């Protein structure tokens, strides 16, 4: 079992260092205990404790009626979840990877977000879709999709992308309580990462649509989310040695998008680099770039730069995969270019 260490919180409890997967597990357990209408459903979530052990111990605690193993049929169990939400339950649907959610695209994009409007307000769909999203390590082209821009394009869907254990717990709990469909896109390579999180007896809810400045800076704003947040923080430390002060803005939510935090940061630094795990064409970075230049163009002292995946299917070969993904060298080069360094 993973262990946690901690320090006192402002409320007298212990702020612990726990892993990303532990934080998600706590969020699930707390919401299942709080509301009997909440249930978890997906492939291997019960007997196997989840493919990434996020649902460890939940079957024993809540039983098979609330922790439900499904066949390999994403379209089927996603649709079952939409129907359950229509009659007042609050399903949490786990996709083993969001690359597999494409099998359930009709349910996630066509049914869940449209039911409220098409029923004339008769049916809310309080459903949460969650699981690992984006490229991991040598999973090949069909298992490495970053789906955030696909789902953010659908009206009625909310999309969040936690990068830290604290954000993972707070955003997931908020998503479960939302009366609308929410996608919690977890970062597969971050499941074992650690961070400080409030104790279980202190309620942790992080609003959707609220970005966070993870690091203050004055020369350039690095706008990022999910797996690119630790990359940006590491690069910012290197840039500091070259007298470039980078501010790190973690979007946390793709939709709704926190324009205010983005604009405040760029208005302070006057330069922006957007780093994302998705591909560049029609990506999240393109939307952020558009909104910056549309609303605060006069604040910019340099063109906005973007660092993303290359626009190719993800290679299986390890060296080619590293070449395709955003990395420290690419981000450093982009920052230095906008800073004319």
- For the record, the structure tokens of 279 come out as 């591909």
DSSP state of 55: T
CB 20 within 8 A of CB 161: no
Q: Which residues pair with 243 in a beta bridge?
A: none
- For the record, the structure tokens of 109 come out as 């994009």
Instruction: Report d(CA 219, CA 335) in Å as an integer.
Output: 9
Catalytic residue among 26, 31, 49, 143: 143
Q: How far apart are the first and last CA of the chain?
A: 47
User: Residue 52: CB partners within 8 Å, gap ≥ 6?
Assistant: 21, 132, 188, 191
User: Residue 134: CB partners within 8 Å, gap ≥ 6?
Assistant: 98, 144, 145, 146, 147, 148, 185, 187, 188, 226, 227, 277, 278
Known catalytic membership, residue 321: no
Catalytic residue among 26, 30, 31, 74: 74
Question: How many C-alpha atoms does 21 have within 13 Å on its Cβ side?
Answer: 19
Known catalytic membership, residue 74: yes
- For the record, the structure tokens of 31 come out as 């919401």
Instruction: Report d(CA 55, CA 65) in Å as an integer.
Output: 14
User: Residue 261: CB partners within 8 Å, gap ≥ 6?
Assistant: 210, 211, 212, 213, 249
Which of the residues are catalytic? 74, 143
């Amino acid at each position: 079992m993973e262990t946690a260490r901690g320090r006192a919180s402002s409320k007298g409890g212990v702020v612990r260092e726990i892993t990303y997967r532990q934080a998600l597990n706590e969020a699930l357990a707390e919401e299942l205990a709080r509301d009997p209408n909440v249930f978890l459903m997906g492939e291997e979530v019960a007997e196997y404790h989840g493919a990434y052990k996020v649902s460890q111990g939940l079957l024993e605690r809540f039983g098979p009626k609330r922790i439900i193993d499904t066949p390999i049929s994403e379209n089927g169990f996603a649709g079952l979840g939409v129907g359950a939400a229509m009659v007042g339950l609050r399903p949490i649907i786990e996709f083993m990877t969001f690359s597999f959610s494409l099998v359930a695209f009709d349910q996630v994009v066509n049914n869940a977000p449209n039911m409220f409007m098409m029923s004339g307000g008769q049916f809310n769909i309080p459903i949460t879709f969650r699981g690992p999203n984006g490229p991991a390590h040598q999973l090949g082209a069909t298992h490495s999709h970053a789906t955030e821009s696909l789902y953010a394009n659908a009206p009625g869907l909310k999309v969040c992308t936690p990068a830290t254990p604290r954000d993972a717990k707070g955003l997931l709990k908020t998503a479960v309580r939302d009366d609308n469909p929410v996608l919690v896109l977890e970062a597969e390579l971050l499941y074992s990462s650690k961070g400080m999180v409030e104790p279980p007896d202190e309620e942790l809810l992080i609003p959707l649509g609220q970005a966070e400045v993870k690091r203050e800076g004055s020369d350039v704003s690095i706008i990022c989310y999910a797996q690119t947040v630790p990359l940006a923080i590491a690069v910012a430390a290197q840039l500091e040695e070259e007298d470039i002060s980078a501010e790190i803005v973690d979007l946390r939510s793709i939709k709704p998008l926190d324009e205010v935090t983005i604009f405040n940061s760029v208005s302070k630094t006057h330069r922006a680099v957007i780093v994302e795990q998705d591909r560049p064409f029609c990506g999240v970075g393109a939307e952020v770039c558009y909104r910056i230049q549309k609303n605060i163009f006069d604040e910019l002292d340099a063109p906005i730069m973007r660092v993303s995946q290359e626009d190719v299917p993800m290679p299986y070969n390890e060296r080619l995969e590293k070449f395709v993904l955003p990395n420290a060298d690419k981000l450093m080069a982009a920052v230095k270019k906008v800073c004319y360094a």
